[in-house]
Amino acid sequence: MNHTAEMNRNKLVQFLGKPPEEFTRQDLIKFIQETKIEMVNFRYLGGDGRLKTLNFVIASKAQLDRLLSMGERVDGSSLLPYINAASSDLYVIPRYKTAYVNPFSPIPTVDILCSYYTKEGIPLPSSPENIVRKAHEVLNRSTGLTLEAMGELEYYVSYHRQHFYPTVAQKGYQESSPFSKWEELRCEAMQAIAQAGGRIKYGHQEVGHICEEDQEMEQHEIEFLPVPVEDAADQIVVARWILRMIAYKHGVTISFAPKIAVGHAGSGLHIHTRLVKDGNNTMIEGSGLSDIARKAIAGYLSLAPSLTAFGNTVPISFLRLVPHQEAPTNICWGHRTRSTLVRVPLGWLNVKDMVRDANPQTSEESLEFSDSQTVEFRCPDGSANIHLLLAGLAVAARHGLEMKDALELADKLRVDVDI
């Protein structure tokens, strides 16, 4: 078995013993046959940002082979608002690497994310998944770099008020049960997201906690690991669906709204990025940020007004971007401060032997973690069109790398204090 598959939660990865990027049509057929999968769902993004579904009952190997080979046709005008009804037929073509066992279906079912194709058999130029792919390809061709990203998905759970073990408003950060009422829901969602192929870093309760007469709202966050931007967009969309499904099962409501109540923490969708070449993180050089990182930051700051079109799509988005709420209010960047638009979080630079100090009994060799450095774009929120936002960040990174005065702009817009 491939060592990367050993602890992967995706059942196809476990069964096939290979990473999803290597899945073939025959791999999927083998898994579906041998594990007695009865249905296949095609899943694809609608214009409203939600996953749509086409169900297939599998009656024969020939039918399955044909389905995975040719995809299916759909009415594009009912899925995407910019498709003309007079010529609306589109193909949805499965992307094998996205296959996972549906964690909710009582019937054994494999779901596969799909891409839209035109009647000519080419990727639909305006489809979200194709736009982010094209933006990433242009960045890679012009710079030789791969853009990896991961999101911090924040949300509120709304439920009937409970009077036992209360949490103080704005004091919920990383609270534990029983004071955290919905830790179990979060962990259940994390497990399901991982089984669906999501690369998760961690989850925790967030700052926000809102109490009304009979309702209570508790804020949580699930943070992912860096993956290529196309995959980062997919896992956010799938995660939103899974969270809503589990909340529905528990009889509560999930909200990704940017701002629910004035004076209380809003929900962001911060995006961490790093530029990678030949498997190496190029964001660091020596003991600090590289010129590549600073140029990318300059690109993000230069195009920040345009990026809000994709990351902050509703009026209440801008009620979140206010002082003293750990939200950006100025186009600037800095290390660790949460009031800047771009933040450079701690990245395990210039530190060593912390684990050995905490565990003096160990003689194991310390690992190198300096490749963990990212930069964080902090203005997006739950209203974001995640595919277009990540496409925009790919364009902005390329813009920064090509700007003649990028380093000067980065120096000009850097701040060292909370603002």
DSSP secondary structure code for residue 386 in this structure: H
In one-letter notation, the amino acid at residue 15 is: F
Give the tens place of pLDDT for each residue, 91-141.
999 999 999 999 999 999 999 999 999 999 999 999 999 999 999 999 999
pLDDT computed for residue 228 by the predictor = 98
Is residue 286 very low, low, confident or very high in pLDDT (cuts 50, 70, 90)?
A: confident
- The band of 172, judged by pLDDT with boundaries at 50, 70 and 90, is confident
Work out the angle at residue 44's Cα, subtended by the Cα atoms of residues 260 and 188, and round it to the nearest 5 degrees: 55
Each residue's pLDDT tens digit, 179-210: 999 999 999 999 999 999 999 999 999 999 99
pLDDT at 2: 60
The two beta strands, 39-45 and 109-117, are parallel
Residue 178, preceding peptide bond in cis (omega within 30° of 0): yes
Domains in the chain: ranges and CATH? 3-124 (3.10.20.70), 134-412 (3.30.590.10)
Question: Integer distance in angstroms from the first to the last C-alpha of the chain?
Answer: 51
Cα 151 to Cα 380: distance, rounded to the nearest angstrom: 10
Going by pLDDT thresholds of 50, 70 and 90, the confidence category of residue 419 is low
The string of pLDDT tens digits covering residues 2-12 is 656 778 999 99
Q: Which of 50, 22, 25 is nearest to 40 (CA)?
A: 25
The pLDDT value recorded for residue 98 is 99
pLDDT at 390 (0 to 100): 99
The Cβ of residue 39 has, within 10 Å, a number of other Cβ atoms equal to 16
**Is the CB of residue 115 less than 8 Å from the CB of residue 92?**
yes
Encode pLDDT of 16-45 as tens digits: 999 999 999 999 999 999 999 999 999 999
Task: Report the alpha-carbon distance of residue 172 to residue 207 in Å, rounded.
Answer: 4
Q: What is the mean pLDDT of residues 319-333?
A: 91
> Which one-letter amino acid corresponds to residue 83?
I
pTM score of the predicted model:
0.94
At 389, which amino acid appears? L
Q: Which residue is listed with tokens 């709304």?
A: 158
Dist. CA 266–CA 338, nearest whole Å: 14
